[in-house]
Amino acid sequence: MTSRLADPDTLAAVIVVTRFRVPQAEQAAFRGDLERARQTLAGQRGYVAGRIGRNVDDPELWVLTTEWEGPGAYRRALSAYDVKLTAVPVLSRALDEPSAYEPVEPGTELNRREARSLG
């Protein structure tokens, strides 16, 4: 796992889980492309950590998990020019499912689907 945090107990505000279905014949090229995408994302402001994995029971199922300081940092990273060139083409192959998650720890308030007070 690649991490920029000095304190391993620090939690990211957003966990992004991006899954891919990759046919066996395309996996060698995909693996290299996905690693380059992860490295490009790692260079963006607000990136905390990232990891690539492959499912042990279904080897055509791959995952890129990244952690970010917040949803804004993740969204801004996707707008960066180098990310658009390197990562977005790979990320566009992702399964069509929600990918951004909030960390859930004991005692933390969960996100709500309602307007919040700014003051």
| Segment 36-51, tens digit of pLDDT | 999 999 999 999 999 9
**What CATH number does residue 59 fall under?**
3.30.70.100
At residue 80, the 3 state secondary structure works out as coil
Confidence (pLDDT) at 115: 58
The Cα-based distances of 16 to 2, 29, 64, 115 in angstroms read 15, 23, 8, 23
Q: Return d(Cα 8, Cα 16) in angstroms, integer.
A: 18
Q: For residue 64, what are the domain limits?
A: 12-101
Residue 24 burial (C-beta neighbours within 10 Å; 0-12, 13-18, 19+): exposed
pTM: 0.82
Kindly indicate the confidence band of residue 8, based on its pLDDT and cuts at 50, 70 and 90.
very low
Confidence (pLDDT) at 7: 43
Confidence (pLDDT) at 93: 97
Specify the residue for token string 């990232």: 50
Measuring CA to CA, which residue among 92, 73, 95 is closest to residue 84?
92
Confidence (pLDDT) at 25: 98
Tally of domains in the chain:
1
Measuring CA to CA, which residue among 55, 63, 52 is closest to residue 93?
63
- Residues in the chain, total: 119
